[in-house]
Structure 1
Amino acid sequence: MAGLSAPKQKISALIITYNEMGYIEKCIDSITFADEIIVVDSLSTDGTFEYLQSHPNVKVIQKPFENFTAQKNFALKQAENDWVLFVDADEIVGHKLQNEIVQTVNDPNALEAYWFYRKFMFQNRPLHFSGWQTDKNHRLFRKSKVKYTNTKLVHETLEVDGSSGVFKEKLIHYCYKNYQEYKSKMLHYGYLKAKEKFDNGVSFNYLNLLIKPTWKFFYNFIVRLGFLDFQKGITICYLDALSVLERYRKLKQMHRSAVIKINLFMPASPEAR
């Protein structure tokens, strides 16, 4: 009928988690404006699952972790609404960003997907440089127009059938809780990157092992102005370089294990009998 406004567009907020107590609470509080909140938990052991299970506004599903792309594609299938907001458990959607999201999805000229820039927090202090100042991710999109590509196991890529816009307001990302937690995360990312390369047939060479981690530190600390973050910058740039070192260490191990398996199952030549 003429004069009636269009119905309000509904939003599904999605999160994947593993041992996120201390941050997941603030994340959930910041997305309660969504019409549904779905969390896929990778068998947390720190009380994350129990907290989510008792939350009246959250639907939580446990699924063993395979890789980030698989977890996110699974979560995407659970969403009832076409508009999806995907956030990490250590991210917070501020009030201004909440308003921008709601206004965007209800705009009849809305695009298919939107990039979010992120404000990185080192514990409770902002990290201004160190390679993260231009980091952005697809966070809001139409479920019917996207999929996560299976070619990446970490830092997954969203394929969009259509156009993407960029939000003005930033997500707040508490990337660094403490040294050991961030180190463990970077080592895990290194392993997943190594597996991704191995599965895609990338061979190992010692030159990458020697040069790539050093370049990563130099690039983030000098070129990307990590030194302006002072001690925070040294810590972040070192641990990011350590992740690259771990990537090539693990790639070396994977190729060595593959060679051993081939030799074990290769039939002996007649001369060796």
Structure 2
Amino acid sequence: MNTTSEKQKLSVLIITLNEELHIKSLLEDIDFADEIIVVDSYSTDQTVPVIESFKNVRLIQHQFINYTSQRNFALDQASNEWILFIDADERLTADLKTEIIATINNGSPDSAYLIYRTFMFKNKKLRFSGWQTDKIFRLFNKTKCRYTEDRMVHEKLIVEGPISVLKNKLIHFSYSNYGDYKNKMYLYGILKANEKLKKGQQSSRLLMIFHPVYTFLYQFLIRLGFLDGLKGVTICYLNAYSIFIRYKELQKLTTSSRI
């Protein structure tokens, strides 16, 4: 139970690069926030003009190094303790907005909240393929949380204190078309390779072949991707492709570092 009548303020943070397809709808969707900050890594499409058309949004351009450093930079810009970190391709339902506001004002001792996501393949729900239990930290108190520096992608939030899960889900419009999603998976693979190199890990031909194959079969069979039909084949393949790129790039980086 909240011990103070003072309303808790919420900062919404977004990092962007060439998100003209999504950013307008998202910014319209989060008008309930007390502060909205977009950290853009020098988009070359119409992302920046769209952001600048929203007078209640603060735009900061900052060079992208990796996802973790960009998120921590954004955190340091926020004026409020409570943070909602959201991606440009995510949307909140009305029920989720209500739950977020109620949560930060109920005096709960929890430091961070996981939110389940519904993965959208174009405009249709993907029910399986490993995404059926997808959840991620999106709402947290920044005085008790920070992204660990040893990851460059698939960031890990370090939380000091209790963690809870919200009841309502985010809608995740991650897959708009094959080319964009493949490029995203390629970037993830490159960043993962650099992360592994930094940790002193190495690639091998066996890993380059068998890890992607295992990833595809696990998501397609064990995680029931086959029930998603052609959508499942596509997602499972592209996720495996990202693993392949990881080891291929790691091998290249390792070889060049020896020269």
TM-score band w.r.t. shorter chain? over 0.9
Partner Cα separation in structure 2 for residue 108 and residue 20 of structure 1: 35
- Secondary structure at the aligned position of 1:153 is classed as coil
User: Aligned residue for 1:42?
Assistant: 41
2:206 is matched with 207
Report if aligned partners of 1:119, 1:172 keep a CA contact under 8 Å in 2: yes
Q: String of CA shifts for 1:217-272, please: whole Å, max 9, x gaps.
A: 00010000000110100110111000000000000000110111xxxxxxxxxxxx
C-alpha contact 1:93 1:172 (8 A) present in aligned 2: yes
Partner of 1:267: none
Structure 2 residue runs of 5 or longer lacking an equivalent are none
Is residue 23–residue 50 contact of structure 2 (8 Å, CA) maintained in 1?
no
The alignment's C-alpha RMSD in Å is 1.0
Residue 219 of structure 2 aligns to a residue whose secondary structure is helix
Q: Name segments (4+ residues, structure 1) moved above 2 Å.
A: none
Cα displacement string for residues 180-199 of structure 1 (whole angstroms, at most 9, x for unaligned residues):
00000000100000000001
Of stretches 76-85 and 47-56 in structure 1, the one that deviates more from structure 2 is 47-56
Task: Tell me the residue number matched to 2:180.
Answer: 181
Partner of 1:268: none
Tell me whether 1:68 sits opposite 2:67 in the alignment.
Answer: yes
Q: For residue 237 of structure 1, what is the aligned residue in structure 2?
A: 236
Matches within 5 A, 1:89-108: 89-108=88-107
Q: SS state of the match for residue 194, structure 2?
A: helix
Which has the higher mean CA deviation after the structures are superposed, 106-115 or 39-48?
Answer: 106-115
1:125 aligned partner: 124
Write the deviation string for residues 39-83 of structure 1: whole angstroms up to 9, x where unpaired. Answer: 000110111011112211210100111000000000000100000
Question: 1:86 matched to which residue of 2?
Answer: 85
Contact 2:17/2:40 (<8 A) preserved: yes
Structure 1 residue 205, shift from structure 2 partner: 1.6
Matching residue of 1:220: 219
Structure 1, unpaired ranges of 5+: 261-273
How far 1:5 moved relative to its partner? 6.0
Structure 1 residue 194 corresponds to structure 2 residue 207: no
CA contact (8 A) 1:104 1:110 kept: no
How many residues are matched? 257
CA contact (8 A) 2:144 2:160 kept: yes
TM-score (norm 2): 0.97
Deviation at 1:210, TM superposition (A): 1.3
> Residues 82 and 5 from structure 1, CA distance in 2 versus in 1: closer, same or farther, beyond 3 angstroms?
closer
Contact 1:113 1:141 in 2 (8 A): yes
Letter in 1 for 2:76: K
Whether the 8 Å contact between 1:19 and 1:45 is mirrored in structure 2 is: yes
Give, as a single letter, the amino acid of the residue that structure 2 aligns with 1:78.
Q
CA distance in 1, matches of 2:182, 2:5: 48
Shift of residue 109, structure 1, vs aligned partner: 2.3
3-state SS, counterpart of residue 107 of structure 1: coil
- Any idea what SS the aligned residue of 1:16 has? strand
Measured in 1, the distance between the counterparts of 2:109 and 2:48 equals 35
| Cα separation, 1, equivalents of 2:108 and 2:247 | 46
Output aligned runs, 1:250-261, within 5 Å. Answer: 250-260=249-259
Separation of aligned partners in 1, 2:52 and 2:25: 16
Alpha-carbon distance in 1 for matches of 2:40, 2:6: 32
* Aligned residues with identical type, % of pairs: 51
Deviations 1:92-128 (A, max 9, x none): 0110000000000000124110000000100110011
Equivalent residue number for residue 168 of structure 2: 169
